[in-house]
Amino acid sequence: MVASHHGVFGFVSYLYSCFAHLLLSPPDVKQAVIAKFEMCNWDVIRRLPTQGSKPPNGKTLCDLIFELGVYFCGRTNQVGPPPGFVEAKVMK
């Protein structure tokens, strides 16, 4: 998978937006989001890979964004993204 510059920039912006909003989020949201990042071997607090692991790859990060989309759509009673949605957006 080769992502476009625009797709990568949007992706990184989305992740930093998640970090920024996480500070003001209710405890249950913080816990759920941090758990999803930890599943990708990313320590949200330190903004580094979890100890003893490598940074997540592109596929893992796309899976993370998809899972966050499903989570937040569920919290707001909206239909979640279809499988492959994130990858398609990154490739644009």
pLDDT beyond 50 at 32? yes
Q: Residue range 41-65: average pLDDT?
A: 84
Contact predicate 71/25, CB 8 Å: no
Residue type, 38: E
Sign of CA dihedral 68, 17, 90, 46: negative
Torsion of CA 22, 89, 60, 33, to 10 degrees: 20
Phi, psi (deg, nearest 5) at residue 91? -75, -15
Q: Is residue 14 within 8 Å of 86, Cβ to Cβ?
A: no
Query: Which tops the pLDDT comparison, 5 or 90?
Result: 90
pTM: 0.73
Confidence of residue 8 (pLDDT cuts 50, 70, 90): low
pLDDT exceeds 90 at position 71: yes
Query: What are 21's two structure tokens?
Result: 């909003």
Work out the percent of the chain whose per-residue pLDDT is above 70: 86
Q: What is the mean pLDDT of residues 36-44?
A: 87
